[in-house]
Amino acid sequence: MSPPLPTVRGVGPARVRMPGPGAPDPVLDALPGLPATAVEYVQRRFPDDAAWFREQVAAGRVLGDGGGVVTPETPYEAGVSVWFHRPVPDEDAAPVTLDVLHEDDWILAVDKPHGLCSTPKGENVRRSVVVAARCQFGNDEISALHRLDRSTGGVLLLCKHAEDRGAFHRMFQERTVRKTYWAVAGVNGRVGEDPVRVESRIRKIQGVVQAFEEPGEVNAVTDVRRAETFTDAQGRWGLYEIAPLTGRTHQIRVHMTSLGLPLRGDKLYPAPREDFDVEDPENPLQLIARSLEFIHPRTGQPVRIDSRLTPSRHAAATSGDNVTIA
């Protein structure tokens, strides 16, 4: 379904769909029946924004699926949606210019900077790769085909047109994309030049900042090898080549911590710091999505895309030693 409202400066409209009777829904669960109007449902679902939403309705800025204006009298109808533009919390954020690594008729690959969200989230809307790319390339259909944590830099693959998303999404769903990461962590006897495979069950609970391992069927597999070692003013470090075979949230950070090798610059593992959600551009997390390799679904040709970011750049630049990792 095409939204009845346009995308504005890379940010699309919000959509709220009215659930049917018996659907698991906190609003419906609290009422003896269905809400009388669409506006009542939205206000009950988002009570903190109820006054703001009333203003949007009064101004005629809320539309239904067919493009008609939603009024205070518009009846509640199961399966129907209302559309509106939410306030953009970082409206005045400085423009972001992305470094393009690959482009063809179907996809874009960019080097996601550390500290930038892959997709709009919370207080980071304009400061997200998807919104920045839509503005930079004048294409409101751009979407992310996978995600990187906000703290992680490196190769992020974007789809240019909505009709092509399915073909490229399937590569990730079927795990035919080879991903390689670079990371900097300490050195111990558990990981050397030969790859070590880590297998476990990782779980992430919404609202809990850390993911964790638990007993049960394996759902996360990571191969790790130490490519190089170096020493600087802060100690002895390893450059690790990491290949995640699955894609659980925080998988690399959890598995490296389980090996006794928490990543340099990680403020969330092994224990969250008070400022874990504040990005430090002077000391970024030393984790980079180094490369993606896949067979192009449209051309049938092999594609390899490499990041231009360098792990441990901060450590090497400030240590006083002439350390280079490339």
Cα 28 off chain centre by:
31
Active site residue 149: yes
Separation CA 176–CA 303 (nearest Å): 12
Cβ atoms of 292 and 144 closer than 8 Å: no
Helix (H) or strand (E) holding 131: helix 129-137
First to last CA, the chain: 46
Separation CA 11–CA 192 (nearest Å): 45
Helix (H) or strand (E) holding 51: helix 50-58
| Catalytic one of 149, 223, 266, 280 | 149
Separation CA 246–CA 225 (nearest Å): 17
What 8-state DSSP symbol labels residue 103?
A: E
* Residue 156, phi then psi, degrees to nearest 5: -125, 130
What 8-state DSSP symbol labels residue 164?
A: G
Helix axes 38-45, 50-58, angle to 10 degrees: 150
List residues with catalytic annotation.
149
